[in-house]
């Protein structure tokens, strides 16, 4: 049983980086185009991604199934985890606790976000061209905006701190100095990602996202 648990945790850790972590970064870059380049660029990026061959198969095999495993097993880890102040000290146990808390928050947030976007597109309630307007409607409401802000900050922390843990557990950063430097690097990544996500949310509140009739999409 302990051996199985070890392998399950290793798979959970690896999937958090490949492909789930890569997907989070790609999602950030795609959405950030709304802030950096505007509504048209955002729509073009979304349409390009969804025009890829076998996109549903790719999403199922390389995004949703790994994400489901990582999320569900992560909830189990969060439920069964216990802090170990004697071996690791207060700060690292604080990070350990925050990793579990943000994991739960991120799981709930992603479930909500997928329902509001991908599922609505699949049901025919929203087109890809209308996703920007959909996000505008969400982000111009104070409570959903605040909940999304909590969600993207939690996801950014969970990814960044998870990367620190991944490098340690896979024997890549060995020794206090390497782990300390890695901690600074991933703290910087967390700040950059969180800021980019929030700026993207602010961009979606702009007036250009109110009406898709003003957007001329490229064929």
Q: According to the model, what pLDDT value does residue 215 have?
A: 47
Q: According to the model, what pLDDT value does residue 84 have?
A: 59
Q: Do 20 and 67 form a contact (C-beta atoms < 8 A)?
A: yes
In a domain, 205, yes or no: yes
Q: Do 161 and 186 form a contact (C-beta atoms < 8 A)?
A: yes
Q: Do 35 and 202 form a contact (C-beta atoms < 8 A)?
A: yes
Q: How many domains does the chain have?
A: 1
Alpha-carbon distances, residue 74 vs 12, 21, 25, 118, 151 (angstroms)? 7, 14, 20, 23, 16
In a domain, 104, yes or no: yes
Q: What is the mean pLDDT of each run of 10 residues along the chain (219 residues)?
A: 73 92 93 90 88 87 93 88 63 88 95 92 88 93 97 97 95 94 97 97 90 48
Q: Do 46 and 33 form a contact (C-beta atoms < 8 A)?
A: no
CA distance 93 to 50: 41
Q: Which domain holds residue 6?
A: 2-214
In a domain, 59, yes or no: yes
The two three-digit tokens of residue 1, written as one number = 């049983």
Look at the pTM and tell me if it is higher than 0.95: no
Closest CA to 106 of 27, 33, 36, 168: 27
In a domain, 154, yes or no: yes
CATH of the domain at 158: 1.20.1300.10
In a domain, 219, yes or no: no
In a domain, 201, yes or no: yes
């Amino acid at each position: 049983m302990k051996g199985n648990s070890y392998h399950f945790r290793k798979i959970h850790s690896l999937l958090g980086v490949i492909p789930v972590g890569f997907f989070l970064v790609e999602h950030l870059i795609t959405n950030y185009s709304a802030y950096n380049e505007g509504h048209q660029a955002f729509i073009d990026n979304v349409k390009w991604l969804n025009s890829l061959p076998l996109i549903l198969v790719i999403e199922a095999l390389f995004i949703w199934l790994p994400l489901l495993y990582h999320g569900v097993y992560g909830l189990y880890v969060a439920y069964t985890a216990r802090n170990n102040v004697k071996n690791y000290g207060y700060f690292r146990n604080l990070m350990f606790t925050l990793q579990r808390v943000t994991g739960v928050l991120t799981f709930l947030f992603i479930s909500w976000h997928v329902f509001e976007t991908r599922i609505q597109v699949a049901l025919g309630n929203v087109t890809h061209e209308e996703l920007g307007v959909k996000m505008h409607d969400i982000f111009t409401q104070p409570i959903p905006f605040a909940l999304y802000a909590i969600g993207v900050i939690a996801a950014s922390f969970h990814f960044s701190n998870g990367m620190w843990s991944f490098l340690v557990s896979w024997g890549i950063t060995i020794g206090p100095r390497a782990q300390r430097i890695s901690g600074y690097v991933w703290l910087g990544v967390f700040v950059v990602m969180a800021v980019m996500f929030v700026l993207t949310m602010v961009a979606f509140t702009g007036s250009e996202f109110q009406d898709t009739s003003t957007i001329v999409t490229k064929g």
